[in-house]
Amino acid sequence: METSHTGDELARILATLANPHRMRVIAALAHGRNYVSALARELGISRPLLQLHLAKLEAAGLVTAAFELSADGKAMKYYDTVPFTVTLTPQSIAQAARTLTTVEGDN
Amino acid sequence: METSHTGDELARILATLANPHRMRVIAALAHGRNYVSALARELGISRPLLQLHLAKLEAAGLVTAAFELSADGKAMKYYDTVPFTVTLTPQSIAQAARTLTTVEGDN
DNA sequence: GGCACATGCTAGTTTTTTCTTGCAGGTGAA
DNA sequence: TTCACCTGCAAGAAAAAACTAGCATGTGCC
């Protein structure tokens, strides 16, 4: 559950979600947690590419990672979605825009 | 007022909103409509740059443009925000992801 | 005419993001 | 040992986005 974000946080969240691969990752994880190699196979993309997207999703706080040992002793990195609710309206954008830190010239 | 979007529409909306300049444009227009030259001065950015961002906002359906003649007969292009409400949750993302059209390899 | 304001467009650069390729490490099992 | 899995990382290529600079148009007013 998300409450309010700074403008920069919101911008990062939106930029992170605005990608087809990452939307599919969220969709896949919404059905249940999974580890990266299996997830890569499920989505039909390369593992390094998936790791890149997972890193961005995690940086934005939209998924979490947890190491776990499989039955046969292998280290698996499991990812799961973080529940969130973000409501976008012109007003909420305006509110967030007030806390943007992008410095350029002046304002 | 927004209802449901295709995955591609949602991705475009999010990508459009995920930019500091465009967030500020939404914020500025939320206070009232304005024309591009005045808006550029208010935001402290160049007019060509603002026009680029306005074009993207309009393409995403987040703002509308209307030509109007000023008192002294000059053609002014006024922009205004379009009311919208987009709620993001893992489920809504998953739902949108089903209609993504990005073709790559297979799925 | 010349100045100040409005718009539009385009070509080229810079920056960021995306993606591939390839190599490293580790484990258990045949 | 070799094979099939798992992870991590980094360098370089490719693609997309952001931004600048400059020129064009038009208007009314002094």
Mean pLDDT, all residues of chain A: 92
Instruction: Look at residue B106 and tell me if it is in a domain.
Output: no
Footprint of strand D on the protein (CB under 7 A): A 35-38, 47-48, 51, 74-77; B 15, 19, 21, 45-46, 48-49, 52-53, 56, 72-74
Q: How many CB pairs under 8 A join A and B?
A: 123
- Give the domain CATH number at B70: 1.10.10.10
Nucleotide nearest to B76 (CA to C1'): C6
pLDDT digit string (tens) for B10-53?
Answer: 999 999 999 999 999 999 999 999 999 999 999 999 999 999 99
B102 in a domain, yes or no? no
Domain assignment of residue A106, yes or no: no
Q: Do A90 and B105 touch (CB under 8 A)?
A: no
How far away is chain A from the Cα of B86, in angstroms, using its nearest Cα?
5
DSSP chain A: ------HHHHHHHHHHHSSHHHHHHHHHHHT--EEHHHHHHHHTS-HHHHHHHHHHHHHTTSEEEEEEE-TTS-EEEEEEEPP--EEE-HHHHHHHHTT----SS--
In a domain, B73, yes or no: yes
In a domain, A18, yes or no: yes
Residue B1 within any structural domain of the chain: no
pLDDT tens-place string over residues B41-76: 999 999 999 999 999 999 999 999 999 988 888 889
Domain-embedded: residue A38: yes
Task: Decide if B75 is inside a domain.
Answer: yes
Q: Which residues of chain A have pLDDT under 50?
A: 104-107
- Domain extent, residue A44, equals 7-97
Tell me how many domains chain B contains. 1
